[in-house]
Amino acid sequence: MDSTSADPQNPIIWSNLGAAQMELWHLDAADEALFKAADLSQSNELVVHNVKELKQRAGTSQISSRALVDLWFGEEKTF
């Protein structure tokens, strides 16, 4: 079972998945994961950063900054 199955309503997990996909240049998969993260939490700064970075990479094929990840312990939700 992957972490998105363990807690599918957790935007941190989706953002982390999107960040990992982005670093692998799997931009379509990153877009899907980040769309889900943004849908779950529009105000999360980490999600906003990653969406902006994905837009940059998709538009210019250039990296302006690394995708960011957050820690998730599978316990209490803080968002």
> Would you kindly state where each structural domain of the chain is located, as residue ranges?
8-60
Confidence grade of residue 73 (pLDDT, cut at 50, 70, 90) = confident
Stated pTM of the model: 0.85
Helix 45-60 and helix 11-23, axial crossing angle in degrees, nearest 10 = 30
Q: Binning pLDDT at 50, 70 and 90, where does residue 33 land?
A: very high
